Amino acid sequence: MSFVNAHFVTYARDLGYHPMAAAGAFSLIGASAVIGSLIMGHLSDQHGRRWLLTASYYLRAMGFVVVLLSMGVPALGIPSLGLGTLLVGVLLVGFSWNSVVSITAAYTSDRYGVANMGVIYGTMFAVMPIGSGLGAFLGGLFYDFRGTYDIAIWSNIVLLIAAMTLVAFRGERRPPELRAAEAAA
């Protein structure tokens, strides 16, 4: 998502959108992220975490596909689908953006208990800035070499599908103390 933070407005401007339309589309990411995290966090409490985390990664990957389609795919004979399509893609990306944070926290505590949450989350948030820095840097590097963000966006899609697949086939496991507490409740 640091790629999106660093490059989205420039990307939308390169597609020919007015700077205000590009900035407005970017602001929709933040607004839909708040809504997505609240809805998906609530749903994960009701229906389990793994499939909603998988769905969040899927929605973001599909959001990036829709963003790509908004500019058209000349090689496939797909014309530019315009600002409306770009906004749909942005809403999907935004909706799924923060939802993974709340669901990942709950999924991790369900899977490993809360006794090790500090170490687990500390490790995750120590490693994530490396990926964030690389995402923003590589997005700019790809743009400098090719004059387009296509490779960066396709890379996002591939990585999201990999994350989605890993979560989908990881399985659920609850520590014995959590199962005992739930049974008692």
Written as tens digits, the pLDDT of the chain (185 aa) is: 788 888 889 888 888 888 998 899 899 998 999 999 999 989 988 888 889 999 999 999 999 999 888 877 777 788 888 888 889 999 999 999 888 888 888 888 888 878 888 898 888 888 888 988 998 999 899 999 998 888 888 999 999 999 999 988 876 665 566 566 666 66
Half-sphere exposure in the Cβ direction for 137 (13 Å, CA): 6
What's the distance, Cα to Cα, between the start and end of the chain in Å?
39
Whole-angstrom Cα distance, residue 88 to residue 148?
21
Whole-angstrom Cα distance, residue 39 to residue 74?
37
Whole-angstrom Cα distance, residue 153 to residue 67?
9
pLDDT of residue 52: 92
pLDDT of residue 174: 58
Residues 6+ apart with CB under 8 A from 87: 25, 28
Bridge partners (DSSP) of residue 73 are 78
Strands in 78-176 per DSSP E: none
